Amino acid sequence: MSSDLVIDVRNVTKRFGGITAVNDCSLSVRRGSITGLIGPNGAGKSTLFNIVAGNIVPDSGQVIFDGKDVTGCKPHELFRIGMLRTFQIAHEFSQMTALENLMMVPGDQPGEHLVGMWFRPGLVQARETEVRKKALDVIDFLKLGHVRHELAGNLSGGQKKLLELGRTMMVDARIVLLDEVAAGVNRTLLNDLADNIERMNRELGYTFFVIEHDMDLIGRLCDPVIVMAQGQKIAEGPMAEIRANPAIIEAYFGAPAEVA
């Protein structure tokens, strides 16, 4: 495998009863890219995304992450080695502040253990200070300072998506899987969200794998764009090429005027 591949999906198949959702599918995500995954309803893209994220185990094939076979690994195991996912519906701790939500992310903090709290209070305090500083830096980066002490449950849909994005910045993510990031977000906050994804990619070197129905957002963020249909990859390239492919436009996007 080439060293610049963060995700390498190899001949993955997944069946549910008599339905083949993903059919011998292979695709890859290159390091430093914002790669989009699109296709019509029933194309298999959500199933494939869940396989990569560790939520579904494939019937056959492999998922290679940074050179390691992670097929069948659980989401928490993938989290520990740098694969993070955001969700279509934000998963915030609603009764904690935005700042506290971010501070919860890093694992194995000494304050999580009674021994550390009782016998190493200095270490606990030092680590908490370090995590708090990191969280404040993330909040500043995402321009969420005005809501840092607001309960996360009170945030708007777009602010919750920004907070989820911030949670991926609290650890050393090798790749971030973005699941329907535009869902439930107004256009103003969606523009902010897109700006931050681009900044994270450009300034911090984040790699993103994006599943999304909003073609304008895909067109803005993603290169390459992978198209799935009937459980397989059928095309890959810049969005301009995807939009210009008459067969794809007719079969998956409708009339050309609808996607211009």
Going from the N-terminus, what domains does the chain have, and what CATH number goes with each? 5-91+173-258 (3.40.50.300), 93-154 (no CATH)
Count CB neighbours of 2 within 10 A: 9
* 206 within 8 A of 60, measured Cβ to Cβ: no
Q: Is 132 helix (H, G, I), strand (E, B) or coil?
A: helix
Residue 146, φ and ψ in degrees, nearest 5: -70, -15
Rounded CA-CA distance 234/228 in Å is: 6
| Structure tokens belonging to residue 122 | 């200095």
- Model pLDDT, residue 93: 86
| Structure tokens belonging to residue 83 | 């694969």
Reference 97, options 166, 174, 154; nearest CA is 154
Q: Is the pLDDT of residue 255 over 50?
A: no
Tell me which DSSP letter residue 41 carries: T
| Structure tokens belonging to residue 33 | 């890219």
- Model pLDDT, residue 125: 74
Q: Is the pLDDT of residue 97 over 90?
A: yes
Q: Which residue has the tokens 């969420």?
A: 144
| Helices 121-142 and 187-204, axial angle in degrees (round to 10) | 120
Rounded CA-CA distance 70/53 in Å is: 10
Q: Is the pLDDT of residue 36 over 50?
A: yes
Residues belonging to the chain: 260
Give the mean pLDDT of 25-29. Answer: 97
Strands 68-69 and 60-65, by their bridges, are antiparallel
pLDDT digits (tens, 9 = 90+) for 177-233: 998 888 888 888 889 999 999 999 999 999 999 999 898 999 999 999 999 988 999
